[in-house]
Amino acid sequence: MNNNYKVVIVGGGSAGISVAARLLRQSHSLFNQIAIVEPADKHYYQPLWTLVGGGAAKKEVTEREMQSVIPEGTIWIQEAVNTFLPNENAITTDQGTLITYEYLVVAAGIEVNWNGVKGLQEALGQHEVCSNYSYTHVDYTWETIRSFKGGTALFTHPATPVKCGGAPQKIMYLAEDYFNRSGVRNQTQVVFGSANPAIFDVAKYRATLEKVLERKQIDARFRRNLIEINAEEKIATFEHLDTGAKETVAYDMIHVTPPMQAPTFIKNSPLSDAAGWLDVHKHTLQHNQFANVFGLGDCANLPTSKTGAAIRKQAPVAATNIISLMRDQPLTASYDGYSSCPIVTGYNKLVLAEFDYTKEPCEMMPFNQAVERQSMYILKKDLLPVMYWNGMLKGTM
């Protein structure tokens, strides 16, 4: 078997597939010269998991065979990367395969640390402990919300970077909306325990979301980091991040956004920064030490919100700069930190936050996106999935 490729891409998620498709569109000579190393059988459109948890979409539509999204002209190696040997332009896999490359793209996503909260792993998917962050259990979120009879509904946001910083609160707004419809809202207290200092870090959208919290009478408690769940007693323990004090909340249902971290095999490699993330230049996406290595998506140390929308802007930059490097040309494509968070604030309501590294809004629509709109909810529910499968993964948008 030939284990030497012009380009090797680690990870066949949103970022890996998008960048492969872009490279092939921009340079026909790369046909059959690109390998994607990806162990999973399935590819997921994770942004829809919020609506699955809220009962507004079926989880099956978010899953496709990996084979069906691998672009024609790339070779899929179904193995997991174990180690990076950038000085030898090589990687090794869990099957003991050594693969060499001329150019490497690292797009391995983020690692969800279910063990980061004591008691979570064992409780997940039963006893009213749910999470949209797991394909296996995402439909249990809807089961829990649908059968909720009142009491305290608790939602959490951890003290680590997460994929889609808005997702921990989106499911809370959907649940609150549903409790009104199911007639249990009057006997329900909705509590948000978040490690963040505020509801959102872009001022314009924060102002809207603070009004949403007020309107919905949500008890938002900031700088609280969930550290333990006692599923038998239904008690959650938080640590106050400023005082170190422990605080317990008795709940009747809990939606947990688990802590997340850089993938361990990146953290343990020469490619990581001090915090374990893939160390890339924030504009060119080129590795800060190894010139023939690029990185993007959730595993990269880009100081912006980790979303698929961000990857939509990163993939063309990475592909263009790799091709420039191949041609000995300067790297002119530049990523500005664009990210977007479609914050669902109820069924048929959405605030479309768009911003860049400056944390200032950079809105694409010809209207004020901080206003909750039904049109933007339809965009998220019905249009963005089509654009993802048929556009972004094909390298056309």
Which residue number, 16 or 346, has a Cβ lying nearer to ligand FAD? 16
| CA atoms of 266 and 48, how far apart (whole Å) | 27
362 is a catalytic site residue: no
Provide DSSP, 37-54: E---SEEE-GGGHHHHHT
Count of residues in the chain: 397
- Beta carbon of residue 59, minimum distance to ligand FAD (angstroms, whole number): 11
Place of tokens 């380009």: 7
Tell me which residue of 280, 317, 324, 286 sits closest to 302, measured CA to CA.
280
Tell me which residue of 9, 340, 337 sits closest to 200, measured CA to CA.
340
Catalytic annotation, pick one of 130, 299, 341, 362 = 341
Neighbours of 25 (CB within 10 A): 16
CB-nearest residue to ligand FAD: 13
- Beta carbon of residue 307, minimum distance to ligand FAD (angstroms, whole number): 3
| CA atoms of 357 and 303, how far apart (whole Å) | 7
HSE toward the beta carbon, residue 148, CA cutoff 13 A? 36
For residues 132 and 52, is the Cβ–Cβ distance under 8 A? yes
Q: Which residues bind ligand FAD (CB under 6 A)?
A: 10-16, 37-40, 46-47, 49-50, 80-81, 107-109, 132-133, 163-164, 167, 263, 265, 297-299, 306-309, 311, 342
Which residue number, 81 or 213, has a Cβ lying nearer to ligand FAD? 81
- Beta carbon of residue 265, minimum distance to ligand FAD (angstroms, whole number): 5
For residues 169 and 196, is the Cβ–Cβ distance under 8 A? no
- Beta carbon of residue 64, minimum distance to ligand FAD (angstroms, whole number): 12
130 is a catalytic site residue: no
Catalytic annotation, pick one of 130, 164, 299, 362 = 164
Which residue number, 263 or 395, has a Cβ lying nearer to ligand FAD? 263
Which residue number, 187 or 396, has a Cβ lying nearer to ligand FAD? 396
| 8-state DSSP, 381 | I
Which residue number, 195 or 234, has a Cβ lying nearer to ligand FAD? 195
Give the helix, strand, coil percentages of the chain, each rounded to 5: 30, 30, 40
- Beta carbon of residue 397, minimum distance to ligand FAD (angstroms, whole number): 13
Q: Which residues are catalytic?
A: 164, 341
